[in-house]
A = this chain, B = another copy of it.
Amino acid sequence: MNVELINTGSELLLGRVLNTHQQWLCRRLADLGYVVTRQVAVPDAGPNIEQAVREALARADLVITTGGLGPTSDDLTRDLVAQLLGKKLREDASIVKHIEQFFAARNRPMPVSTRVQALVPEGAVVLPNPHGTAPGLAMKVDAEGWQLENCDQTASRSTLNPQPSTHSKWLIMLPGPPRELRPMFSDTVVSLLHRVLPIESEYVCRTLRTVGIGESQVADKIAGPLCDALARGLDLGYCAHMGAVDVRLAAHGSQATQLVRAAESVVREQLNPNIFAADDETLEAVIVQLLTARKKTLALAESCTGGAIAHRLTNVPGASAVLLAGLVTYSNDAKRRFLGVRAETLATHGAVSEVVAREMAEGARRATGADYALSVTGVAGPDGGSEAKPVGTVFLGFASADETVVFKHFNPFDRETFKSVTGTQALEILRLKVMSTG
């Protein structure tokens, strides 16, 4: 099954927004067994969108587009697709009613321009949009007819999928805003796919996530032991990001589950202490689970990470059961007042020091009554560095009833990378400490 994703939006090509649809849709589709084979982003211009849809329909069994269904002049997808497939557009009375109700419920006048969103190409399935005004649209495209009538030149381009498809293809158009697209996908598209394009061959993918070890070290450790599995069709991939390396094990066919399971054992044997989670589980989710299971509580004392660790932990549903408080003590005064760091310590050692990290962690435990506390103090940059403490210098403290320990790291990156890498290091210290105390 060939699946292609087309993201429309000039803002994507101008780099004004991050393409979060790609990751979200690709992940959801892969989990369902529809692995995306190509993703394309094109600007909001007729010829570009048309060419991308035309090419994708020539190659793929399923084409999903995002964006271009809204009410403004740069929303072109609906019209272009109708034209390309030779379908007329008709106003759908139920969509007009939905749009009217949408604005009425918000006590806002209905702008005239929004009515265009009620136009539907003949034969299209309408995907309701409870969170916005533009519905999604799904259209069955006859593969033979498509290639003959519309795509004689393009069809020959399909070098990756040379056998002619005799079944139907599907083109699904989804709205651009994530909070409209995501529920629409979960509530409507998933069941549509199961019905019209059922998956025949088994597909299994497992990702093991590591920290504290480089990509080539990971490869050196596992490539040899996985030789046999690779020969039997295992697909092995690596992805390094922000101080972590993911190992991806995948396979197709009836032996897929067995093959991936055996490979996972091999990888775990080689990398065990560095593996913190599997698949999409985050380090912060692992920590919330660990602490919840052990009925332990946590307090944070963040200086240079500025709330990044609290933010990550509180993205996990249920974090409120374990996180008592996060104190973003950016100023020296706040370090004294909320954490009891001594003025004398700050004056003697400076805010970025092992002793201050220690007093911050101990102070956070004391002030909140938490079982564990993490503290972070360092120089995120771009300014504030010195010869003795250059930008990237950071002290990470951990305090429990048994001990207080401080680690020094050097993360000379841009400010946001610094916060992310430092946060991962702090959370990993906590994970290892909590694990080791049984």
Contacts and interface: CB of A to CB of B under 8 A. Distances in A.
Given A182-B414, A215-B70, A14 B326 contact: no
Interface in A250-280: 250, 280
Contacts of A73: 219, 223, 236
Contacts of A308: 307, 311, 314
Interface stretch (A4-12, A121-129, A395-403, A428-436): A4-12
A384 B331 CA distance: 34
Nearest to A43: B37
28 contacts: A11-B237, A11-B248, A14-B35, A14-B36, A14-B250, A15-B22, A15-B27, A15-B28, A15-B30, A15-B36, A16-B23, A16-B246, A18-B20, A70-B215, A72-B238, A74-B237, A112-B220, A306-B311, A306-B319, A317-B415, A323-B331, A324-B333, A325-B327, A325-B331, A327-B338, A331-B368, A337-B367, A337-B368
A385 interface: no
A381 B237 CA distance: 35
A310 interface: yes
Contact of A113 (B16, B216, B239, B315): B216
A241 interface: yes
A108 interface: yes
Interface stretch (A90-98, A151-159, A188-196): A151-159
Contact of A317 (B36, B72, B382): B382
A22 B12 contact: yes
Interface string A207-234: 1000000111101100100000000000
Contacts of A24: 15
A300 interface: yes
Contacts of A382: 317
B307 A326 contact: yes
B13 A17 contact: no
Interface of A: 9-20, 22-30, 35-44, 47-48, 51-52, 70-74, 108, 111-114, 133, 153-154, 156-157, 159-160, 176-179, 182, 205, 207, 214-217, 219-220, 223, 235-241, 246, 248, 250, 280, 300, 302, 305-311, 313-315, 317-320, 323-331, 333-334, 337-338, 367-369, 380-384, 413-417, 419
Copies in the complex: 2
A23 to B, nearest CB: 5
Given A73-B236, A177-B240, 14 more contacts: A11-B237, A12-B22, A14-B27, A15-B28, A16-B23, A19-B19, A38-B42, A114-B216, A177-B241, A182-B414, A306-B313, A325-B334, A328-B328, A337-B367
